[in-house]
Structure formats: C-alpha cells, structure tokens
C-alpha cells in the first residue's frame, strides 16, 4: 500500500502501453515516463497492463463475464508476481461484488502475499476486500490476523471495519474515533448500536448568528418510508446549522409515511410538506420540491440516510468562504441498519463521494433548471452538467475521506436490483444513460433542463419517467437506434398495419405493444414479459434498455420428464392469446392425449399471453418455447429468420415430427422440410365458404387449398367433411376432436319449466349472432320460456345488436374460459354459423353436457347431430329455429330423450381414450416412416 513511488514500479513502466491507455497524455505530447513519475502515480494511473488490466476492463463490460473469470483464474495459477496478485485482486473484487464470498476467499492468499502487486495497487482496497470476505464468511481468526498485518496501515476505513467486530458502546467509540480524529463531534445511541438509534452526542453547539447566514433548502422525496424517514428527519432537525427548511415531498406513499411526517411537523416549523397525488419517482418529486425551495443554497437528502450533525454547517461554510465555488459535495460510507459498513465495488476505500449531498447555489438552478426526470443516476448527470457549465474547479469537496453521512443499503433499492443495478455503470443502463448525457453536454450550448416537457436527450426506456407521451416518444427513438424493431417484418406479420399505411414503429409503440404484437421475428416479447412478471410495455422497456436480444428462443420447462429412447415431437400452436377459441383448445386436447403415450412433447407457441393455457400445456410437455409465427398469406415471402430459429429448435429438441395445429402456419413446415423431418398439419378449416378466412389469407378457396396440400408430408382432418374437402386420402387420417369428459357430469340433465339457450362463439357476423337476436326477439314476443345467453368476446357487432334490440330475455355473459360450467347449467345450445363448420367443437361439448343442440345443418355438424341427438334445420331460417324451440320447450320428454342420446353418443365415441388412440397411431406411423 505504498504511497511513494517504488523503484520496482518504475522498472515495470511500459511507455507504449501507457500512451495507449491514457490518450490524454499522448494528446498532450509530454514524455510518458516523466508524466507518470510526476503526475500519473499520484493520480492512480497504472505503469503497465501486465496482461491483466484489460481482462478487468472486460469483466465489467461483458454481459457474460464467465470467460474473463476463467482468464483471471489461469493467470493466478501461474503464480507469477505481480500478474497473479493483480489477477487475484481483480477476480476477488468481482466475486465479492456479487456476494460470491466463498469463491473469493480462495484467491485472497495470492493477493495478500504478493507485495509487488500490493505496491502497485497502493491503497487499502485489498485489505478491505479481505475483511469483507472474512466477515461475511464469519472467519474471525482470519480477521484477527488481517488487523495485525503491518501492511494495512491505520485509516478511518480500518477503524470502521474494526467497529464491526464490537458491540454496543465499544462499537460507537470506534466510530467516534473517526469523527474525533477529524475534528468532529461524536455520536451517541439510546439503546443499541444501530443506524436508527443514532443521536447527537451531548453538548453539540449550534451555529452562531443566523441573521446574515444563507437559508439552506433540503429536499427529501419519500415513498413508503415509514421505517426509515424518522432517522433522516431526526438527523436534519439536529443539525448544528439551524437556518434550514426541510421540504418533504410525499410521492403518493401508501404506508404510514404521512403520520411520521406529521409527528415531526408538530415539533419543528422548519419542515414543509408537499403531497403528490400519484407516484412520480424520486427525481420528479425532487423537482417539485426544488420549484418550491426558498433557500439561496439547495441540497437533497434521501429518506433512508443519516447525516452527521455538522454536515450542513460544514458544506455551508465551504461555500461561504469560497465565493468562486458554485457547488460542493461531502463524503459518506454505506452501511446496513446495524452499522455494518460496506461498498458494492471495492475501490480505494469504503468512504467516498456522496452524490446526494450536492449543495449548490440558487444561480445553478436558474442556469441549469431541474434534475432529469429518470429513475436513476440523475444526481450524476446533474453534477456533470454543473461541471460542464461552470468548470470542474468550481465544484469542491468538503472534508474528503471523512464520512459526513451514512447511506443505508437495502436489497430492494434501485442501486441493488435488476437492470438498474449499480453495476450497469460499466455496461448497461447507467452507462448508456451517462453516454447519452455526456453527448448532450458536449454538443449543446444551453444545458437548461425544464421541469417537464420534451426530453433533451434519449435515455434507456426502462429509466425514462414523465408522461405517457414522453415515455413512448423516448421509447420510439431508442428502438430506432437499437435494431430491436424490424419494420419490414412487422408489416409481414400484421397485414392490417400495412393496409392502413401506418408507419410500423409508430403503430407498435402507440398501439401494437399493448395489443401483444411482436417487434422482431427472432424474439417473443410476450414470453419475455411472462418470464419477468411484467406487462408487455414494461417488458419492452426492459428489453430496449438491455440493447440485446437473447440468442435462443425464450423457453419455460414443462412438468413431464424426458422419456429416454422415445420419439420427440415438436407441436406448434398458431395462437395463444388471452381469449381461447376452438382450435387453441383442441390443440391443448391433442397435447394432453399424446402425453399419455410414449412421446416426448415439445411445444412452440407464438406468444405467452394466457397463463392458464400455458400452464396447462407445461403440465403435459417437456418444455415450451416461444417464437412469433406469422400466418401464411398468398404472395408473401417466407420469413427466413423464423425458419432458421425453428430449425435450431428442431435440432435442440431432436424432433422427429413437426406438427402444425392449423393450416395458417408456414415457416414450421419449411423448417421441417429443410431439416428433413416429417411434418403433419392438423386441418381444421374449410375455406370454401369462409369469406373471412380467405380475406385473412389473401387468396381464393382454390389457391388456399393448393397451398395447403403442398406444404406437409401428412395431414390430420378433424372430420370426414374436412377430409373430403381437401381430397388427399393417401396422406390424410381423419381424427375428430376429442372432448375432455372429466369436465362433464355423468348424470342425466334435468329440465325445468323455464329453459336456458346458450350461444358460444366469436360473435362475428359469420357465426350467426344476428340470427340469435332475431330468434330471441320472436321468442320474447311469443312469451316462450327461454332465457338466451351469449358468451364470447364483446365485438362491435354484438354491442350494436344489444343497443338495437334491447331484449329482456337475452343476456351477455362475456368471454367464458370455463365453457363446461356454462354448458352444464344450460339446456339448449344454438349453433347458427353461416359457413360450414369443419367439426363443431362446441356442439360436441354441449352434447357431452346433455344440452339439446338446435341450429343449422352446416358442414360437419351433422356428423355429430342426427335426428335422435338434436335438431338441425337445412336452411338458414330464423323462423324455423324459433318454431323448433317453441315446439321443444313444450315437450320435455322429447328434450330429455335427445339430451340422453347426445350425451351417450359423445361419451362413447369422443373421449380422450377413443380419440387419443387414433391420434397416437398417426404419430407412430410418422415416426416409423420418418
């Protein structure tokens, strides 16, 4: 820990490295060795890199630093001084910063025994690092030896470290030794040595006359600070400098923060109170306080910190007696509530500059405005803005190296968690922010920051605060420069955006992200949101702030264990949205059935918007992967990025068969072909008379049919009607949809004198929703004892019909996730589709519940319902449906027979066992012939 320049250090000097490392020296054109001798050593510059410093730089800048850890370990194993000692210092510091104490302790001997390395480091950091490691591992014998080391000279940090081994009054005596040795008054405690029990020592005198002294405004933003605020306020109210105003800005706290404030306001009229109606964040709260501040000197204080009684007086004195100074800072030390001292990344000591202590003259506010409205680091930006404007020499340090405050360290603080962790000052959010801030400082003549309004520079979206408009504008600009949005792909994925001629990025930021749309082909935002417990918008801000995309598909593990030696199948779903319809629920049925056989099921979904659906799939699979999947559309190009990702997934899962849940998917089948694995499409659509489907796919029925029969090796039709339509019998198996009979009672349905008729649909025109309202209208006029119930999404058409008809016998139940519960309580199911149904899933489920099916004979519905199991009408005629209903409700015995027959038929023929065996046979055949 040498302060003088040892000859051994001079002998290690590398001129070429020095000039490359420190471009300011090279730019100045001075002799490198002379600079190091007279300035560099005292400034903490290194004489050479020793093949180690660059690795230390990299480990903090890498998002995956494991490679650097291995490099440092290899250098340590060389046992070559000073390289090995320096590598041990850098590696131990890295490990300790992340609480990996048990790993760090292994390398401490190499560090502490290498005297040449210690002479190069030339400060007490290695000893504080060793102390923190031993202390966290409770290795007290090693601590004793460490304090006895002649190489660790006495410092205030060492005294604070020693205090942590004592209790009660002795601990306070140690801490007071630091204060007394620097000419400061000591502290006392009421009961125990803790941060929240500190009091000023008796007989600390206040400042002298106040008449001509400046008022100091101290701004404290507080949010849910009931446990710590009293400590902060007590320390400020007990300051020896009395001419202060304490401005408390309550940032919409939901705990007892206000009650704590009231207690102090009752005793001290220097406290002013401002309450914000909504939570805005610390810096916006500070800005509100700053706009109300009356003092000629202004500073801030955090709601969980403690300040020495002489702190404000010393900072005021520094500015009063140095008229050129525009601002000043004091120093502090971090600790927990029990006065255990620490520092996240050990440098030359624990005691360091306290950015929150910045005290500045009012002219700074007039010239530079307010703090930047972000979540973290605005303190640092404001300081650099002052330096850029007024010069570095006009910002002075007050008692450097002396802790005039204790900063509380809490695990949940923004400096200690997630994307805002203090480590991001080296690589990540904080560094990105400061880089952008410095660019603004260097390129703008006016550095005034307004309290609100358009941002002066763009910042990582996760830290941007302010109005929704400001945040989205910042997000848009950040996405434009980050490469995290693909406009061309977005148009391909969402034809409605292309047709509307809306700029894709504008649409995505203002609407698409909230609608669950995806920004790029190789990454699933909704899955990222699911894994991080965030909504899509906040997940996008987090992703954009990280500035990189994961290389692999986001995945979650399934609950099924791998069946060794059994085939692997990749099952691809076309939708997984908040509201599920027939095809998605049938996909889940297929997974459940196949999970009972000797297959390893891997599932690929296009989104993760429905947690219940996802968890049901996880229960039956080995793993679930997520990737945006565009629907096929006539004339569009295949998404090569999507194909490549699916090919990677096929290889990773060792899939022998790729299964597509509907005809709408394309890229999974292209990927299967390129990987030479079998592909199978489950056909659930009949485009012949489905105008809406043809519009979505951009082709006529024949064009769609030709595409479908050319994209896969094999097909599963969900009905004979579907198989007949596509007419490729050699490569088609007919496997109807199954019904999960566990959800339905085995008992016969009992009918009363008043009946309920339910319609479950997507509530669009082609589903016959208008016909339902006409039938209900006729029934109400004829006083037929039927209550009509509509289930499904609230579409514009449905809202219009409800307003138009205003029927008393019809109610809307909304989207229903638990369909069996609705069907169990209903008597009749109405099926009124204006297009041929490829199967009639809801019809089958209603029959399983014993409902009497009444509706149009369309598509494959007649494969389920005949005259003994329900009532079908050949023509789409609402009057005939009304007449049949009128006839049925007066003949309970007929309804009971139809109900019993329907229930028996479904239970016999459409169970998981019956359909599962057929489905299993298809996959077994595909695997055999693969």
Helices (H), 339-467: 362-368, 378-390, 429-443
28 band by pLDDT with thresholds 50, 70 and 90: very high
Query: Are 544 and 472 within 8 A, CB to CB?
Result: no
Beta carbons within 10 angstroms of residue 345's beta carbon: 16
What pLDDT shows up at residue 427? 55
Q: CA–CA separation, 723 vs 98, rounded Å?
A: 61
User: For residue 631, what is the DSSP state?
Assistant: B
User: Of the candidates 262, 287, 288, 260, which has an alpha carbon nearest to the alpha carbon of residue 274?
Assistant: 288
Residues in the chain, overall count: 930
Residue 595 has pLDDT above 50, yes or no: yes
* Per-residue pLDDT tens over the stretch 467-519: 999 999 999 999 998 889 999 999 989 999 999 999 999 999 999 999 999 99
Q: CA–CA separation, 837 vs 318, rounded Å?
A: 84
Q: CA–CA separation, 549 vs 536, rounded Å?
A: 15
User: Of the candidates 596, 592, 618, which has an alpha carbon nearest to the alpha carbon of residue 605?
Assistant: 618
Report the pLDDT averaged over residues 175-200. 92
User: Of the candidates 684, 652, 719, which has an alpha carbon nearest to the alpha carbon of residue 915?
Assistant: 719
* Per-residue pLDDT tens over the stretch 721-741: 999 999 999 999 999 999 999
Class of the domain covering 195-204+211-443? alpha beta
What pLDDT shows up at residue 204? 62
User: Of the candidates 730, 618, 604, which has an alpha carbon nearest to the alpha carbon of residue 669?
Assistant: 604
Counting DSSP H helices and E strands in the chain, the numbers are 43, 26
Q: CA–CA separation, 286 vs 298, rounded Å?
A: 11
User: Of the candidates 630, 661, 662, which has an alpha carbon nearest to the alpha carbon of residue 645?
Assistant: 630
Extents of the domains making up the chain: 7-147, 195-204+211-443, 467-546, 554-734, 741-910
DSSP string, 262-296: HHHHHH-TTEEEEE-SS---HHHHHHHHHHH---S
Map tokens 């109210």 to a residue: 237
Q: For the chain, what percentages of helix, strand and coil (3-state, to nearest 5) are there?
A: 50, 15, 40
Report the pLDDT averaged over residues 317-341. 96
* Per-residue pLDDT tens over the stretch 113-133: 999 999 999 899 999 999 999
What pLDDT shows up at residue 161? 97
Q: CA–CA separation, 249 vs 385, rounded Å?
A: 24
Q: CA–CA separation, 137 vs 732, rounded Å?
A: 66
Residue 419 has pLDDT above 60, yes or no: no
The fold of 554-734 is Rossmann fold (3.40.50)
What pLDDT shows up at residue 226? 97
What pLDDT shows up at residue 424? 54
Report the pLDDT averaged over residues 559-578. 95
User: Of the candidates 404, 409, 458, which has an alpha carbon nearest to the alpha carbon of residue 436?
Assistant: 458
Query: Are 549 and 484 within 8 A, CB to CB?
Result: yes
Query: Are 759 and 788 within 8 A, CB to CB?
Result: yes
Handedness of CA 391, 394, 398, 399 (dihedral sign): positive
* Per-residue pLDDT tens over the stretch 254-274: 999 999 999 999 999 999 999
> Domain 741-910 sits in which CATH superfamily?
Glycogen Phosphorylase B; (3.40.50.2000)
And the tokens for 259? 């009650």
Instruction: Tell me what the pLDDT averaged over the chain comes to.
Output: 93
Query: Are 469 and 390 within 8 A, CB to CB?
Result: no
C-alpha to C-alpha distances, 203 to 180, 185, 188, 240, 406, nearest whole angstrom: 14, 9, 11, 11, 22
6 band by pLDDT with thresholds 50, 70 and 90: confident
Residue 235 CA from chain centroid, whole number: 37
What pLDDT shows up at residue 417? 47
User: Of the candidates 296, 318, 299, 282, which has an alpha carbon nearest to the alpha carbon of residue 402?
Assistant: 318
What are the backbone dihedrals phi and psi of residue 846, each rounded to the nearest 5 degrees, phi first? Answer: -65, -40
Query: Are 249 and 302 within 8 A, CB to CB?
Result: no
Q: CA–CA separation, 607 vs 554, rounded Å?
A: 10
User: Of the candidates 271, 263, 268, 231, which has an alpha carbon nearest to the alpha carbon of residue 247?
Assistant: 271
Map tokens 């929240």 to a residue: 196
Indicate the range of 34-48, 242-256, 670-684 predicted with least confidence: 34-48
Map tokens 């200690």 to a residue: 416
Query: Are 748 and 896 within 8 A, CB to CB?
Result: yes
Higher pLDDT, 806 or 61: 806
412 band by pLDDT with thresholds 50, 70 and 90: low
Query: Are 706 and 715 within 8 A, CB to CB?
Result: no
Report the pLDDT averaged over residues 632-657. 96
What pLDDT shows up at residue 414? 41
For 748-869, strand residue ranges (E) read 755-760, 786-791, 810-814, 828-831, 852-856
62 band by pLDDT with thresholds 50, 70 and 90: confident
* Per-residue pLDDT tens over the stretch 203-222: 666 555 565 799 999 999 99
3 band by pLDDT with thresholds 50, 70 and 90: low
DSSP lists the bridge partners of residue 247 as: 219, 272
Q: CA–CA separation, 829 vs 757, rounded Å?
A: 6
Name the helix (H) or strand (E) containing 328. Answer: strand 327-335
User: For residue 54, what are the contacts with CB-CB under 8 A and spacing of at least 6?
Assistant: none
741-910 matches 554-734 in CATH topology = yes
Q: What is the pTM of this model?
A: 0.82
And the tokens for 390? 């007024």
Name the helix (H) or strand (E) containing 298. Answer: strand 297-300
Report the pLDDT averaged over residues 619-632. 97
Name the helix (H) or strand (E) containing 862. Answer: helix 861-864
Three-state secondary-structure class, residue 604: strand
What pLDDT shows up at residue 207? 56
Of all residues in the chain, the percent with pLDDT exceeding 90 is 87
What pLDDT shows up at residue 423? 54
Report the pLDDT averaged over residues 567-582. 92
User: Of the candidates 439, 646, 626, which has an alpha carbon nearest to the alpha carbon of residue 539?
Assistant: 626
Residue 390 has pLDDT above 70, yes or no: yes
Residue 422 has pLDDT above 80, yes or no: no
Q: CA–CA separation, 734 vs 717, rounded Å?
A: 5
Report the pLDDT averaged over residues 846-870. 96
User: For residue 861, what are the contacts with CB-CB under 8 A and spacing of at least 6?
Assistant: 831, 837, 840, 843, 853, 855, 872
Map tokens 């029934």 to a residue: 779
What are the backbone dihedrals phi and psi of residue 340, each rounded to the nearest 5 degrees, phi first? Answer: -95, 120
Query: Are 659 and 665 within 8 A, CB to CB?
Result: no
DSSP lists the bridge partners of residue 757 as: 788, 828
Q: CA–CA separation, 524 vs 9, rounded Å?
A: 53
And the tokens for 801? 């019909």
Handedness of CA 614, 619, 624, 629 (dihedral sign): negative
Q: CA–CA separation, 290 vs 370, rounded Å?
A: 8
Residue 133 CA from chain centroid, whole number: 32
DSSP string, 732-764: EEE-PPP--GGGS-SSPP---SSEEEEEES--S
Residue 917 CA from chain centroid, whole number: 42
* Per-residue pLDDT tens over the stretch 523-556: 999 999 999 999 999 999 999 888 788 888 999 9
Half-sphere exposure of 341 (CA within 13 A, CB side): 27
């Amino acid at each position: 820990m040498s302060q003088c320049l040892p000859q051994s250090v001079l002998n290690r000097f590398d001129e070429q490295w020095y000039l490359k490392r420190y471009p300011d020296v090279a730019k100045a054109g001075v002799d490198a060795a002379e600079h190091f001798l007279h300035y560099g050593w005292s400034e903490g510059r290194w004489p050479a890199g020793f093949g180690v410093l660059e690795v230390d730089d990299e480990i903090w800048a890498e998002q995956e630093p494991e490679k650097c850890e291995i490099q440092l370990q290899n250098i340590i194993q060389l046992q070559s001084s000073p390289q090995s000692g320096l590598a041990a210092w850098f590696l131990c510091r890295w490990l300790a910063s992340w609480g990996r104490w048990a790993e760090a302790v292994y390398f401490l001997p190499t560090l502490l025994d290498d005297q040449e390395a210690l002479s190069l480091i030339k400060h007490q950091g290695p000893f504080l690092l060793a102390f923190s490691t031993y202390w966290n591992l409770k290795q007290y014998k090693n601590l004793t030896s460490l304090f006895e080391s002649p190489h660790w000279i006495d410092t205030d940090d060492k005294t604070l470290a020693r205090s942590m081994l004592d209790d009660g009054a002795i601990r306070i005596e140690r801490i007071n030794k630091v204060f007394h040795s620097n000419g400061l008054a000591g502290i006392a405690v009421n009961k125990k040595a803790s941060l929240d029990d500190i009091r000023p020592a008796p007989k600390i005198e206040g400042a002298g006359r106040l008449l001509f002294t400046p008022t100091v405004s101290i701004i404290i933003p507080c949010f849910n600070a009931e446990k710590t605020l009293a400590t902060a306020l007590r320390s400020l109210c007990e300051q020896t400098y009395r001419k202060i105003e304490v401005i408390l800005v309550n940032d919409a706290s939901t705990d007892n923060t206000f009650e704590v404030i009231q207690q102090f306001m009752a005793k001290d009229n220097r406290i002013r109170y401002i309450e914000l109606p909504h939570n805005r964040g610390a810096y916006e709260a500070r800005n509100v306080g700053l706009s109300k501040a009356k003092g000629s000197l202004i500073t801030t204080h955090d709601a969980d910190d403690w300040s020495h009684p002489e702190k404000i007086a010393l900072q005021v004195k520094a500015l009063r007696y140095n008229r050129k100074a525009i601002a000043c800072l004091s120093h502090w030390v971090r600790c927990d509530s029990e006065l255990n001292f620490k520092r996240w990344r050990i440098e030359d000591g624990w005691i360091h500059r306290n950015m929150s202590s910045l005290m500045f003259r009012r002219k700074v506010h007039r010239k530079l405005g307010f703090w930047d409205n972000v979540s973290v680091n605005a303190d640092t930006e404001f300081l650099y803005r002052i330096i850029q404007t007024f010069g570095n020499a006009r910002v002075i340090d007050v008692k450097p190296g002396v802790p005039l405050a204790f900063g509380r360290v809490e695990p949940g603080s923004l400096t200690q968690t997630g994307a805002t962790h203090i480590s991001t000052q080296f690589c990540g959010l904080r560094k990105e922010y400061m880089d952008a801030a410095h660019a603004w400082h260097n390129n703008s003549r006016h550095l005034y920051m307004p309290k609100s309004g358009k941002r002066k520079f763009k910042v990582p979206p996760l830290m941007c605060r302010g109005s929704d408009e400001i945040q989205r504008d910042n997000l848009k600009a950040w996405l434009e420069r980050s490469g995290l949005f693909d406009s061309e792909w977005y148009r391909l994925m969402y034809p409605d955006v292309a047709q509307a001629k809306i700029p894709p990025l504008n649409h995505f930021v203002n609407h698409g992200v909230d609608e669950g749309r995806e920004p790029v082909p190789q990454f699933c935002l909704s899955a990222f949101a699911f894994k991080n417990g965030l909504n899509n918008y906040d997940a996008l801000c987090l992703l954009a702030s990280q500035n990189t995309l994961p290389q692999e598909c986001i995945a979650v593990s399934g609950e099924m264990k791998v069946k060794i030696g059994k085939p692997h199948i990749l099952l691809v779903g076309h939708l997984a949205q908040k509201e599920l319809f027939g095809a998605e629920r049938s996909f889940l049925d297929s997974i459940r059935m196949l999970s009972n056989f000797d297959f390893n099921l891997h599932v690929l979904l296009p989104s993760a918007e429905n947690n219940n659906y996802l968890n049901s799939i996880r229960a039956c699979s080995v793993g679930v992967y997520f990737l945006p999947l565009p629907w096929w559309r006539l004339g569009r190009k295949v998404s090569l990025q999507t194909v490549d990702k699916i090919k990677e997934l096929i290889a990773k899962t060792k899939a022998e068969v790729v299964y597509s849940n509907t005809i709408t998917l394309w890229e999974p089948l292209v990927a299967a072909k390129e990987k030479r694995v079998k592909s199978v499409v489950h056909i659930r659509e009949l485009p012949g008379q489905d105008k809406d489907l043809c519009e979505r796919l951009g082709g006529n029925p024949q064009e769609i049919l030709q595409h479908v029969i050319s994209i896969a090796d094999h097909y599963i039709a969900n009905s004979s009607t579907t198989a007949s339509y596509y007419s490729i019998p050699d490569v088609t198996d007919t496997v109807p949809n199954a019904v999960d009979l566990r959800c339905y009672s085995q008992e016969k349905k009992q009918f009363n004198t008043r009946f309920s008729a339910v319609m479950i649909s997507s509530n669009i025109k082609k589903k016959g929703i208008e016909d339902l309202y006409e039938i209900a209208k006729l029934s109400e006029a004829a006083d037929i004892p039927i209550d009509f119930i509509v289930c499904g999404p609230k579409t514009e058409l449905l809202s219009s019909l409800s307003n138009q008809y205003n029927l008393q016998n019809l109610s809307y139940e909304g989207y229903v996730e638990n369909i069996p519960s609705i069907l169990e309580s209903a008597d009749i199911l109405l099926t009124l589709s204006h297009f041929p149904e490829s199967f009639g899933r809801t019809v089958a489920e209603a029959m399983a519940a014993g409902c009497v099916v009444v509706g149009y004979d369309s598509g494959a519905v007649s494969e389920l319902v005949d005259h003994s199991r329900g009532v079908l009408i050949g023509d789409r005629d609402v009057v005939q449906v009304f007449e049949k209903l009128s006839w049925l409700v007066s003949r309970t015995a007929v309804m009971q027979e139809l109900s019993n027959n329907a229930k028996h038929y479904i239970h016999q023929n459409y169970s998981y066992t019956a359909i599962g065996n057929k489905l299993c046979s298809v996959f077994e055949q595909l695997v055999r012939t693969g």
